Chains A and B, each alone.
Chain A
Amino acid sequence: MEITLKRIDAYRWEIPATGKMRVPGIVYADDSILEGKEQNEPLQQVANVATLPGIVKASLAMPDIHWGYGFPIGGVAAFDWEEGVISPGGVGYDINCGVRLATTTLLKGDIATRLEDLVNALYRYIPSGVGSTGSISLSVSEEKKVLRQGSRWAVSQGYGEEEDVAHTEEKGCLENADPDMVSPRALERGRKQLGTLGSGNHFLEVGFVDTVYDETVTRAFGLFEGQVTLILHSGSRGLGHQICDDFLVRMTKSSKKYAFDLPDRQLVCAPLRSEEGTAYFNAMACAANYAWANRQILLHRSREVFYRVLGISPRDLGMRLVYDVSHNIAKKEIHVVDGKSRVLCVHRKGATRSFPPGHPELSPAYRAVGQPILIPGDMGRASFVLVGTQTAMEETFGSTCHGAGRVLSRKAAMKKSKGRSIHRELEDQGILVRWTGRGTLAEEMPEAYKDVSKVVEVVHGAGISRKVARLKPLAVVKG
């Protein structure tokens, strides 16, 4: 079905509510993003989400919108907590896939001669790749502690500092996590993967602050031009995937009793107040906590590699976590809708929280300026630091984009890479790459992805988050 789009302004488009849509769709994009037939399917998904029970205000899409399972990636949808539904497709398979940014006291020039040693050591000591297992093997009871405590568990085991937890979304723990809602299969898959990077588009990147757009916020975030940075992108590994699968099965079975008229099977859902809905929300929280513990361990291991290779002390390295954001998650949040305060379940799938200055959820360090937002680019191009805004709270339930989607299929990327040496091309640009897996580099090459700077220009232009700084890669480890 061809979707009709009505332009609201330069960055906002409406899909008018027609047929079974309960609310309109609102898409944040510019003309170039909406070009091309391949956008029709994700826009149809925006319209499909608008049919779900209890959806509030609009089915939203960020400018990195692309096709997903049920919900589009780049989709945001909020549901009334009493009357609405929760859907695993609105979170994604990789629950709490997210990004963290750390800074150091070092300048780019300080590590130039040691960069190769650094990336080789990161590649050696941070497990990555398909089915990779880590050195942390958990008993069932210890694993359940990870699922309950998230980042706090990692810090209690010596992986990091209290300040890391304070600078993590939700302080690295959703308190409603209930490990009894997690299947033995999911526990089995999670037991040996803690402390691993994962594969596909997961990565670890050493980079530097290339451009400062907002001096005041940059200073508040502890960033400065030329500063060496570390970005980690990873999720809940096999545990999260299994939890998603388990609840897709369970909700498919229970869907008969709710008689929802779903335009797409992958939108399978349950009322938030139902047994299935509550169970999923609490199991999803376990996966979220696992991912935060994982990223905390990866950060700390990275610190240790830096100390060893550069031969400097923790104080001289000064590797500080700026922030950790989730971009696949469902949260219980309070938002003002039509002048009234409402409790909502906000699904962000391939979208990031964007909370404004003054929001009580923010740590004291950031409350004056707003929440840091990290938007990773592909391995050849820039990543961005943004800050949250009041416009996001008013329009998008405090949400913004998360990155850039694929523009080439894996097969097309492999074809385009034939006869080329992708890692040499990157080295010629001054970027060292280490990777696992035969096809990984070709499949993940920069041209396979959209240009994230275009996505960032839209959210900045629309005012749902603001540019703070641009980071450029120096060395990348890909799983």
Chain B
Amino acid sequence: MRNPAATRSGYRLLDHTADMGIVVFGPTVKGLYEAAAKALAELLIEGPAPEEVQRLSLEIEGEDRADLMVNWLREILYLWAAKSLWLLETNVEHITSKRLSATVRMAPYDPTRQGIKTDIKAVTYHRIQVRRTTAGWEATVIFDV
């Protein structure tokens, strides 16, 4: 757990009876979305990062910042669920309230070296929030597990 008032990005878990949630924070909106993607990746997989990576360019849209966050994380989750690719690093290159473009470095999942931590099945709209704070930006996201 990191100090949300600091200038770094990070996240903390929300304990929930039925599912799993996170509160993500970052000094900038770009940092927030990057931190959210990394948080999802950390919750999904554990293990050493492989050497072989794929670079992908992603273009994501949304009706507003919250919808954009859900669609962004949905894309990361889809790459994992359908293609067994997990996120190592991301750079959000451009972001508005309804659109973002990013480069992601993905690695193929290797069950002999990595393990699945959490079976996250979907990114939900439940309690979805993206908001400014005095320290920067904060978002709440609930995952279906």
Contacts and interface: CB of A to CB of B under 8 A. Distances in A.
Interface of A: 38, 66-70, 73, 93-94, 130-131, 185, 188-189, 199-200, 238, 241-242, 244-245, 248-249, 252-253, 264-266, 268, 405-412, 437-439
B15 A265 contact: no
A244 B78 CA distance: 13
Nearest to A133: B84
Given A69-B144, A131-B81, A131-B84, A408 B17 contact: yes
Contacts of B78: 185, 242
A14 B119 CA distance: 37
B116 A437 contact: yes
Nearest 4 Cβ contacts at the A-B interface: A265-B125, A130-B119, A266-B125, A409-B17
B122 A253 contact: no
B125 A409 contact: no
B82 A238 contact: yes
B67 A410 contact: no
Contacts of A439: 118
Given A69-B124, A244-B122, A245-B74, A185 B17 contact: no
B116 A130 contact: yes
Contacts of B20: 410
Contact of B144 (A93, A185, A188, A252): A93
B102 interface: no
Contact of B125 (A94, A248, A406, A408): A248
B128 interface: yes
9 contacts: A38-B17, A69-B125, A131-B81, A131-B116, A131-B119, A189-B81, A241-B144, A406-B17, A409-B15
A217 to B, nearest CB: 33
A268 B116 CA distance: 31
A93 B123 CA distance: 10
B47 interface: no
Contacts of B124: 69, 266
Contacts of A69: 124-126, 144
A67 B144 CA distance: 12
A73 B71 CA distance: 24
A107 to B, nearest CB: 37
B115 interface: yes
B23 to A, nearest CB: 15
Given A131-B81, A189-B81, A93 B15 contact: no
A275 to B, nearest CB: 19
Given A409-B15, A438-B117, 18 more contacts: A66-B18, A70-B126, A93-B122, A93-B144, A131-B81, A188-B82, A238-B82, A241-B81, A244-B122, A248-B125, A249-B71, A264-B126, A265-B125, A266-B125, A405-B17, A437-B119, A438-B115, A439-B118
Contacts of A410: 20, 145
B71 A265 contact: no
A405 B116 contact: no
A189 B81 CA distance: 7
Interface in B103-145: 115-119, 121-126, 128, 144-145
A253 B125 CA distance: 14
B116 A67 contact: no
A93 B121 contact: yes
B128 A265 contact: yes
Given A67-B18, A131-B116, A200 B145 contact: yes
Nearest to B123: A245
B110 to A, nearest CB: 13
B91 to A, nearest CB: 24
Given A188-B82, A252-B63, A410-B20, A200 B119 contact: yes
Interface string B15-34: 11110100000000000000
A245 B77 CA distance: 11
B141 to A, nearest CB: 13
Contacts of B16: 409
Nearest to B62: A252
Interface in B39-83: 63, 66-67, 71, 74, 78, 81-82
B95 interface: no
Contacts of A268: 125
A67 B17 contact: yes
A437 B120 CA distance: 13
Contacts of B88: none
B13 interface: yes
A199 B17 contact: no
B13 A266 contact: no
A411 B15 contact: yes
A264 B123 CA distance: 15
A404 B82 CA distance: 30
B82 A189 contact: yes
